[in-house]
Structure 1
Amino acid sequence: MNTESMLCFHCAQPCPAQSDFQIRYRQALHPACCAGCQAVAETIINSGLDQYYTQRQQPADRNAPLPTELLEQLALYDDPALQQDFVHTTSGQEKEAALILEGISCAACIWLNEQHIAQLKGVTSVSINYSNHRARIAWDDSQIQLSTILQHIAAIGYRAIPYDHARDEQNWQKQRKSALFRLWVAGLSMMQVMMFVVPIYLAPAGEIEANWLSMMHWGSALLTLPVVMYSCWPFYRNSWRDLRRGRASMDLPVSIGVLVSFFASLYALITQHGEIYFDAVSMFVFLLLGGRYLELKARRSAGAAAEKLVKLVPTFAHQLDAEQRLHEVAVSRLKINDRIVVKAGEIIPIDGVVLGGTSDVNEAMLTGESLPVHKTSGALVTAGTANLLSPLTIQVQHTGSETRIAAMVRILDQALSQKPRLATIADQIAGWFVFGLLIAAAATYWFWHLHDPVHALPITVALLVVSCPCALSLATPTALTASTGHLAQLGLLVTRANLLETLAKVTDIVLDKTGTLTFGEPRITRTIALNISSEQALAIAQSLEQQSEHPIAKAFLAEPSAANLAAAQQVQKHAQGGLSATIDQQYYVIGSLAFITEQIHQAVPEEFEPYRSEGTMVALSDGHTWLAAFVLADQLRTDAITTIAELKACGVQLHLVSGDQSSSVQAVAQQLNIQSVVANATPESKVSYMQALQQQGKTVLMIGDGVNDAPVLALANVSIAMGAGVDIAHAAGDMVLLNNNLSCLPAALALAKKTQSIIKQNLLWALLYNLGALPLAAAGFITPWLASLGMALSSLLVVVNALRLLSRHKKP
């Protein structure tokens, strides 16, 4: 057995002297401290995941065989009632859970868990976000249970629990308070130490007596000690963790600089020979911790899009029972078809349909649309939106993980869990840079020790501090996180963070017509009123159509209310294609031209004839004469014309490719001034058209909404699915336009280009700063305190530059 070290191979804890537990790893035996660590290590190695032991950055937690109590507790997670809040059923037996992993300490832990979970039979996908340790696990419930997945996670020394926003917020507050207190200790020490050293710097040589000078130096040492022992502890812990695994992190130069400066100063104080740098140590740590605290808050702000969505949904609701009484209940206990009342000023907690009441609902938090949306009986409402004017009675359709807002959170989590190519490259450069920096520091110390031993130490410390590559690793992820959060505020959900790089290079945009440029459903395009006003005709028609479930009725109900009329009475639906009713004791009938002609035995008026070709006609009569006619047709979205003009101003080439008839497609193209037009396009021809553009070297963005758009959405370099489109289009798209508002597209293109520009600015600045500061420090032109200031400001500059992506963009 390999006895070079009697530390446990798995958890690195001391092994008992007579330990009989052994772990076979790569043809060698290693000691284990207990049966638990031996079992966990064997699970990892036998699963083909032995690479974990070469990648991890700190030893695993000591583990023991899973106790019966824990197994029983994990089995409870198979209860459907318990799963309601954090498990989403995607299709059939396919389920997806949102979990928080505890025990994660490095990237190797992420890799181990992903690989270990992914190889379980029945698990279809797993992704873990390193920044917040949130995991998304999808599995086939007919092949494996959630409790089994949790047991396998526990078997390798980690713990998975359902995602809880309150727990996540509690962890963030704990982290923030710890960082703030360490900063406070360093700041207080720096101020007190400067009270001692400023008189020393200002007084002429020999003016301060030796005993007073010694007392001031010892006071500085004592005041610096809490900084070295407490404020710097995270740097030591991280550096030691990495060194034990043969890696050098960005905290290593900081740790070396602090410890060398402090103990060299202490040695000089004891021997009364050499320079003392207690003030430089406390100032350096204060500036470094200050910069990192600001970075911590900035990254939290930039990545808060998903957290904001989670916070939108309230915990409690007013449930309406069979006796029309209200009861306060937890939202998690609501079931499908339950009825709730949402009062004015409250947030709607579920997805549902309005049964009673009329109000305006603010959907800006969800879709980015600032104008309130009018809601009446039959209208759909979404969890997270705000009821503004009066109470609404709502029937529950979806709760918890099945709501639209939960789907948005899943999409954001998926996007933020991916690591873009530029971020990976920057991390690799930073890792090699640290090794190069340590070599340069050793060479610098050797050179100055030979030529000027007195300045060898401060120059080496300045070199270690000034060239810490924190800014290099922050350059890309901070910008991408801020940009993704801004797009979510615009109503554009990103499913892959690295697509922003491609979006910035888009040269051509291919647009579908129906459901994308148009509403995809009939709208009233013209009203021809004969014996009454247009407003009165529309009001009567709306009152009648409220009693109809026909799709055409939606066109009338979608229009703003023209007048307040009494509800229709004695409603009668006719098989010939219309309905009749009385309003304020007046009889009215509405329906097709043929139906009204048959009812009143009068020919269609000549005033209607010129407009028949524009679309479907619906007529209104009082049973004796023609009152009005409405032309219904698929209509351009209100923002389509201005959006197309702005996209052209961005310099992209536009293409209209639709499966509709040539006449309607050409009419839309003419309205929008689009030159490249293809009509009667099949899904196959759309794919061929896309491939032809890509073969010409074009970077193509596709925008669509239907089932027939799914193949071409998947083929495009970047694709956007309309929020009102079908689920298969959402699955194929790289982004989802939640509010169906095309006007955000120019801003999205501008934001993508600005993101790439800021990433390049950040990387260029980080590289130039490090490469420029290193020779200056090595030459002795930078003092340790100035190096700490430069390093902190460099990292902060990168983060502040990235946060510019959160600001609103002007239209082109």
Structure 2
Amino acid sequence: MHVTRDFSHYVRSAGEGIKHIDLAVEGVHCAGCMAKIERGLSVIPDVTLARVNLTDRRVALEWKAGTLDPSRFIDRLEELGYKAYPFETESAEVAEVAESRFLLRCLGVAAFATMNVMMLSIPVWSGNVSDMLPEQRDFFHWLSALIALPAAAYAGQPFFRSAWRALSNKTTNMDVPISIGVILALGMSVVETIHHAEHAYFDAAIMLLTFLLVGRFLDQNMRRRTRAVAGNLAALKAETAARFVGPDEISQVPVAAINPGDVVLLRPGERCAVDGTVIEGRSEIDQSLITGETLYVTAEQGTPVYAGSMNISGTLRVRVSAASEATLLAEITRLLDNALQARSRYMRLSDRASRLYAPVVHATALITILGWVIAGASWHDAIVTGVAVLIITCPCALGLAIPTVQTVASGAMFKSGVLLNSGDAIERLAEADHVIFDKTGTLTLPDLEVMNAADIPADIFELAGRLALSSHHPVAAAVAQAAGARSPIVGAVEEAGQGVRAVADGIEIRLGRPSFCGAEALVGGATLDPEASVVAFSKGAEKFILSVRQGLRPDAQAVIAALKARGIGIEILSGDREPAVKAAAHALSIPEWRAGVTPADKIARIEELKRRGARVLMVGDGMNDAPSLAAAHVSMSPISAAHLSQATADLVFLGRPLAPVVAAIDSARKALHLMRQNLWLAIGYNVLAVPVAISGVVTPLIAAAAMSGSSILVMLNSLRARSASREIV
């Protein structure tokens, strides 16, 4: 009977003519596995993307629509020695927890056996230099075998299963030499015990498994903690929403059925399922994920809300602007996913070294054995030396050197409000020594503020805010927000490009251009903020002007000072007016600035700095910044940036503060330093250990301790990437 497999439920569109599927893959433990899977899947015709996420053992695949059956990917992975199935967040988390528990059980068995075998080895070691009888020594050896053999059979399963899958598919991975080394050590120990030899290596084999399991358990839990960040974001997504299907009738529907323009009800205690704007009601909401602020935000008419925000007190009606995968929360999740999948040039170097490992170390062990035999050693002694070479050269430290740092660093950056959008962004950001800031929306906040609200009579300002509710202009929205207006004036009329007018208490009121309101004289005689836009309000013969502008980000001065303290050059390139740019540069003590620049001017300046040897970090948010973001050595954008800028930028930062820029640089510099340290640790260990092992002076026990110690040292060193940012003062 022919059985078909239909995975269409798990396939989604990834753009015009491109399909995407995520597969969970068992047995992926190292950089070598990642490279092997990506190479093996990329050779399939019409595959446009094959990227492994080591953090959650997932492979993301994209291909030309209509050309491939997704089941082919699963078959190909099986050929490579890996079991795969469609990825689902819930089932993946269950499998991750189950694997963690299994590793912990294996570690417990191995550690218990190691302690007991080592206790039995102590009298043997001392007896070999004293008067222990051969029968007594054999008794201790057989007792060690009785403990070590079943313990190794159980505790070694994570390595044995992986090695068997690889060998059965005529390939190798890092677990193959580990398994061979453990099995050879145990087999030789049994043979030695049968022939009443002085030495057996049960302690070396079980101790090797213990240390390897410690490293694998720590690695898995470190990745789970980083992956929990993405899991926490996923938990913020509401699956359903209460959509209005009539004036006072709601229906609970899946988020996928919500469309822009729909109106949904958001009740107290609920998480918002969509992006949108409040059209009725008043409440407090927690949207710290987006703004970075822990204080609740007042939500009322005109207030934007985002998916994942928690409604605290009142009931709100929200008009939907985006739902499902189009929300800002979904975009943040995708950016975080990119961070967890990030691949750097150091990781690629580690990949290549790891791929060469298996054939090189097997050849080295074989040559060692033959060399010692040719030199006159017995086959017994030669094989013992070969086993020590196999064990001591295990590439776990090399395989963990880069991925662990990237995993920890990307998690630390996210906690600082920064998401990676490029594989080698960490290294390039660490090299940055010159920062170019755009002004509008980057050094300044994207939201407009009324700067002279305190100078306007309260009743006039309230009336202006109510009139502003009838306009779609962003400046009017800023006036309405600042005035706390909740009820628009009935009968207001908006004149395109001019403003909005209405009649209140028999008096005509207007809000808009000074010429529309008859307030040109006030503009000419006032001393205004050079960065501000001017909007006028008139109530009959009474005329007022409002100064509306984007304020500097609250910590901009401290961030600029912190960058200077780190030896980084700073300048502003902005397309805005000269007075506005000059005022911002003066407020931030940035002597080098240019106003009225075009995108081509920005690129020309970046190229000029490159020729001088500078490594430029471009920070911008507008669509006109996208070319310069791409031209820079490395680039960042705020989450409020245009989608084109976000897609071009290497990193994206969240919230209102500018501090994530400094935090990202500190984290990147620390991570790059740790990557280099880890590579040198791994290389230095092998340079010292391999000749010593080949010389025959190292027993399998010492080899196991040395190899495991190097892997754990690399992992512990990587954990230092969790806290890299210095305080910004």
For Structure 1 versus Structure 2, the TM-score category normalised by the shorter chain is 0.7 to 0.9
Cα distance in structure 2, aligned partners of 1:320 and 1:528: 39
Question: Would you say 1:798 and 2:722 are equivalent positions?
Answer: no
Question: Would you say 1:87 and 2:16 are equivalent positions?
Answer: no
Amino acid at match of 1:281: A
Q: Secondary structure at the match of 2:246?
A: coil
Query: Structure 1 residue 794: deviation in Å?
Result: 1.9
Deviating more after overlay: 471-480 vs 187-196: 187-196
Assess, with a 3 A threshold, how the Cα gap between structure 1 residues 614 and 708 changes in structure 2: closer, same or farther: closer
Question: Would you say 1:610 and 2:610 are equivalent positions?
Answer: no
Q: 1:128 aligns with which of 51, 55, 63?
A: 51
Residue 648 of structure 1 corresponds to which residue in structure 2? 564
Question: Would you say 1:514 and 2:440 are equivalent positions?
Answer: yes
Query: Structure 1 residue 745: deviation in Å?
Result: 0.8
Residue 185 of structure 2 corresponds to which residue in structure 1? 261
Residue 315 of structure 2 corresponds to which residue in structure 1? 391
Corresponding pairs, count: 714
Deviating more after overlay: 153-162 vs 375-384: 153-162
Residue 714 of structure 1 corresponds to which residue in structure 2? 630
Q: 1:496 aligns with which of 401, 419, 422?
A: 422
Amino acid at match of 1:497: G
Residue 70 of structure 2 corresponds to which residue in structure 1? 150
Q: 1:526 aligns with which of 443, 452, 461?
A: 452
Residue 577 of structure 2 corresponds to which residue in structure 1? 661
Query: Structure 1 residue 266: deviation in Å?
Result: 1.2
Q: Secondary structure at the match of 2:278?
A: strand
Residue 222 of structure 1 corresponds to which residue in structure 2? 146
Q: How does 1:137-286 map to 2 (within 5 A)?
A: 137=61, 144-145=65-66, 148-150=68-70, 153=73, 163-194=87-118, 196-198=120-122, 214-239=138-163, 249-286=173-210
RMSD: 3.9
Amino acid at match of 2:558: T
Amino acid at match of 1:591: L
Amino acid at match of 1:692: E
Q: 1:703 aligns with which of 615, 619, 625?
A: 619
Q: Structure 1-normalised TM-score? A: 0.77
Question: Would you say 1:99 and 2:10 are equivalent positions?
Answer: no
1:291-333 per-residue CA deviation (whole Å, 9 max, x = no partner) reads 2211221233345544443333133444555374565544344
Cα distance in structure 2, aligned partners of 1:656 and 1:108: 45
1:424-464 per-residue CA deviation (whole Å, 9 max, x = no partner) reads 22233344455554455456555499469987666554443
1:549-568 per-residue CA deviation (whole Å, 9 max, x = no partner) reads 2322222244385xxx8845
Deviating more after overlay: 746-755 vs 764-773: 764-773
Question: Would you say 1:739 and 2:655 are equivalent positions?
Answer: yes
Assess, with a 3 A threshold, how the Cα gap between structure 1 residues 69 and 343 changes in structure 2: closer, same or farther: same
Q: How does 1:611-690 map to 2 (within 5 A)?
A: 611=528, 615-619=532-536, 623=540, 625=542, 629-690=545-606
Residue 32 of structure 1 corresponds to which residue in structure 2? none
Q: How does 1:374-453 map to 2 (within 5 A)?
A: 374-417=298-341, 419-432=343-356, 435-438=359-362, 440-442=364-366, 447=372, 450=376
Amino acid at match of 1:492: V
Question: Would you say 1:725 and 2:647 are equivalent positions?
Answer: no
Q: Secondary structure at the match of 1:504?
A: helix
Residue 59 of structure 1 corresponds to which residue in structure 2? none
Q: 1:112 aligns with which of 29, 40, 52?
A: 40
Q: 1:550 aligns with which of 473, 476, 479?
A: 473
Cα distance in structure 2, aligned partners of 1:117 and 1:101: 21
Query: Structure 1 residue 221: deviation in Å?
Result: 1.6
Q: 1:572 aligns with which of 468, 476, 492?
A: 492
Q: 1:766 aligns with which of 670, 682, 688?
A: 682
Amino acid at match of 2:727: K
Q: Secondary structure at the match of 2:234?
A: helix
Give the share of equivalent positions with the same residue, in percent: 28
Assess, with a 3 A threshold, how the Cα gap between structure 1 residues 803 and 374 changes in structure 2: closer, same or farther: farther
Deviating more after overlay: 729-738 vs 246-255: 246-255
**8 Å CA contact retained: 2:25, 2:59:** no
**8 Å CA contact retained: 1:227, 1:285:** no
1:186-212 per-residue CA deviation (whole Å, 9 max, x = no partner) reads 233334445644555677989888767
Amino acid at match of 2:413: L
Q: Structure 2-normalised TM-score? A: 0.85
Residue 357 of structure 1 corresponds to which residue in structure 2? 281
Assess, with a 3 A threshold, how the Cα gap between structure 1 residues 311 and 100 changes in structure 2: closer, same or farther: farther
Assess, with a 3 A threshold, how the Cα gap between structure 1 residues 216 and 316 changes in structure 2: closer, same or farther: farther
Query: Structure 1 residue 547: deviation in Å?
Result: 3.7
Assess, with a 3 A threshold, how the Cα gap between structure 1 residues 502 and 376 changes in structure 2: closer, same or farther: same
Query: Structure 1 residue 754: deviation in Å?
Result: 0.9
1:389-409 per-residue CA deviation (whole Å, 9 max, x = no partner) reads 333333344333222222333
1:10-43 per-residue CA deviation (whole Å, 9 max, x = no partner) reads xxxxxxxxxxxxxxxxxxxxxxxxxxxxxxxxxx
**8 Å CA contact retained: 1:114, 1:128:** no
1:637-667 per-residue CA deviation (whole Å, 9 max, x = no partner) reads 3333322222222222223222233333333
Query: Structure 1 residue 796: deviation in Å?
Result: 1.9
Larger Cα-atom Rg: 1
Q: Secondary structure at the match of 1:356?
A: strand
**8 Å CA contact retained: 1:504, 1:752:** yes
Assess, with a 3 A threshold, how the Cα gap between structure 1 residues 335 and 658 changes in structure 2: closer, same or farther: closer
Cα distance in structure 2, aligned partners of 1:674 and 1:249: 54
Cα distance in structure 2, aligned partners of 1:161 and 1:281: 34
Query: Structure 1 residue 213: deviation in Å?
Result: 5.8
Query: Structure 1 residue 700: deviation in Å?
Result: 1.5
Cα distance in structure 2, aligned partners of 1:179 and 1:603: 76
Residue 400 of structure 2 corresponds to which residue in structure 1? 474
**8 Å CA contact retained: 1:367, 1:490:** no
Query: Structure 1 residue 756: deviation in Å?
Result: 0.8
Q: 1:315 aligns with which of 216, 225, 239?
A: 239
Q: 1:559 aligns with which of 463, 479, 482?
A: 482
1:375-401 per-residue CA deviation (whole Å, 9 max, x = no partner) reads 222322222233333333333443332
**8 Å CA contact retained: 2:531, 2:579:** no
Q: Secondary structure at the match of 2:528?
A: helix
Residue 24 of structure 1 corresponds to which residue in structure 2? none
Q: Secondary structure at the match of 2:70?
A: helix
Cα distance in structure 2, aligned partners of 1:407 and 1:243: 41
Amino acid at match of 1:611: L
Amino acid at match of 1:729: S
1:572-625 per-residue CA deviation (whole Å, 9 max, x = no partner) reads 34657344565xx89794525857976xxx996799633387744445566565
Deviating more after overlay: 232-241 vs 711-720: 232-241
Assess, with a 3 A threshold, how the Cα gap between structure 1 residues 370 and 560 changes in structure 2: closer, same or farther: farther
Cα distance in structure 1, aligned partners of 2:86 and 2:276: 25
Cα distance in structure 2, aligned partners of 1:180 and 1:767: 29
Cα distance in structure 2, aligned partners of 1:514 and 1:164: 41
Query: Structure 1 residue 164: deviation in Å?
Result: 1.8
Query: Structure 1 residue 715: deviation in Å?
Result: 1.6
